Amino acid sequence: MGKAFLFLACLVLATQAVDNDPEIEMNAPEIIERWGYPVEIHTVETTDGYLIDIHRIPAGKNQVQTPNKPVVFMQHGFMCDSSNWIVNLPDQSAGFLFADAGYDVWLGNVRGNTYGKKHKTLNPKSEKFWEFSFDEHAAIDLPNEIDYVLQKTGQKSLNYIGHSQGTLTMFAHLSEDQTFVSKIQNFFALAPIGTMTHALYVLFGSGEFLPSNNFMKVISKDFCGTNPTNDYCDNLLFLISGPESTQFNDTRVAVYTSQTPAGEKFDYQDPKKNQKKYGQDTPPAYDYSKVNAPTHLFWGDQDYLGDPMDIKNFLIPTLKPEFVKTNVELKNYNHMDFIWGLSTPTDVYAPILKTIQASNQGRFQRH
């Protein structure tokens, strides 16, 4: 993390805050409430004792809350949390758009991020708390949260939208548990990741990838909230996610940055740690040919994390063709455009809504 942290720290010291957006200081539920939407906070206790808050938008703005709505579960990407789906304006944010379209929207989180730093017995400051990797996100957090949502809503299955890491965890879980497909109507993979072979993000080092978002809120207020320096603030995101985007709403960049880093640790495949965990120097590969859910891929040609080479040479050839229902390459999309791009509602969310509505057919009603 050293070089990236030093770079960010220098930027903070070089600037002062003006014209700050109030959402920089808000958490995800507060942002949802700010825009006039109902919100619920649910705490999921995982089978190994982690306490993870997930967020629900049970109805659209000024809509009556009704039971038996189709459920859409959204899972965030690397370094992120549930706020990713609601930090754009309401007509640009997936969480709000799908709620307004009549869906019961749930926003997931994982152990270790902003909303997953609690445990029944472990202190988050202890090393023991952080002894997990993407394997636990996939094997425990994901199914525990989805089971909780289905139990609360009384639904038998839901539509899953994952971005970045949120696709990796679903691919991994489906490859290990083929019975899980009964709970997934559609799997929408935005900026999908099946392997990190070409991802530039490994250059940032190991440990907690970015500091807690208290530090990032300082950056957002003292640097990204300053209009004359927004081009530099944009580059913090582009450095991680891909070449400069023409889709970002410049007035929202400070909000993006304050809400993005969620402080999660990950495994850099150390041979000794792999030996201890797997009994071999390298971790066993997930067999993505076993993924058996209707899968819809949306990926960009300018993505540094969901690298096009990894998608073309590994992910698509590995998935069984009969389960790949959609495969869309979007030109000039980088990693974050899939959740923050101004054209994403048209290019990505509209096709997803159409697919979900077709899946629900007569069962779907707008309220």
Residue 298, in any domain of the structure: yes
* pLDDT value of residue 225: 45
- By CB neighbour count within 10 A (0-12 exposed, 13-18 middle, 19+ buried), where does 54 fall? buried
CA angle 206, 14, 236 (to 5 degrees): 40
Residue 366, in any domain of the structure: no
DSSP secondary structure of 104-151: EEEE---TTSTT--EESS--TTSTGGG---HHHIIIIIHHHHHHHHHH
pLDDT tens column, 26-84? 999 999 999 999 999 999 999 999 999 999 999 999 998 999 999 999 999 877 899 99
- Pick the catalytic residue from 82, 133, 164, 258: 164
Q: Do 148 and 89 touch, CB atoms closer than 8 A?
A: no
137 belongs to the catalytic site: no
Does residue 321 register a pLDDT over 70? yes
- Pick the catalytic residue from 21, 53, 335, 347: 335
Number of domains in the chain: 1
- Reduced to 3 states (helix: H, G, I; strand: E, B; else coil), residue 13 is helix
pLDDT tens column, 248-303? 444 443 433 333 333 333 444 577 877 777 787 777 778 899 999 999 999 999 98
335 belongs to the catalytic site: yes
Does residue 88 register a pLDDT over 80? yes
* pLDDT value of residue 149: 99
* pLDDT value of residue 2: 44
Phi/psi of residue 205, nearest 5 degrees: 95, -170
Residue 80, in any domain of the structure: yes
Does residue 365 register a pLDDT over 60? no
Q: What is the mean pLDDT of the chain?
A: 79
Count of Cβ atoms closer than 10 Å to residue 131 Cβ: 13
Residue 184, in any domain of the structure: yes
* pLDDT value of residue 252: 41
Q: Which of 140-149, 173-182, 255-264, 286-295 has the lowest mean pLDDT?
A: 255-264
Q: What whole-number distance in Å separates Cα of residue 106 and Cα of residue 95?
A: 8
- Reduced to 3 states (helix: H, G, I; strand: E, B; else coil), residue 72 is strand
Closest CA to 237 of 228, 227, 226, 249: 249
As separate numbers, helices (DSSP H) first and strands (DSSP E) second, the chain gives: 15, 9
pLDDT tens column, 219-232? 444 444 444 344 44
173 belongs to the catalytic site: no
Residue 77, in any domain of the structure: yes
Q: Do 197 and 311 touch, CB atoms closer than 8 A?
A: no
Q: What whole-number distance in Å separates Cα of residue 261 and Cα of residue 112?
A: 11
Give the residue numbers spanning the domain of 263: 2-360
Residue 367, in any domain of the structure: no
- Pick the catalytic residue from 303, 307, 310, 347: 303
pLDDT band (50, 70, 90) for residue 363: low
* pLDDT value of residue 139: 94
Q: Which of 98-107, 117-126, 135-144, 273-282 has the lowest mean pLDDT?
A: 273-282
DSSP code of residue 221: I
Q: Which of 166-170, 234-238, 308-312 has the lowest mean pLDDT?
A: 234-238
Specify the pTM: 0.79
CATH (domain of 309):
3.40.50.1820
Does residue 309 register a pLDDT over 80? yes
Residue 144, in any domain of the structure: yes
Q: Do 41 and 81 touch, CB atoms closer than 8 A?
A: no
Residue 67, in any domain of the structure: yes
Closest CA to 70 of 161, 5, 144: 161
Closest CA to 254 of 231, 226, 220: 220
Q: Do 233 and 278 touch, CB atoms closer than 8 A?
A: no
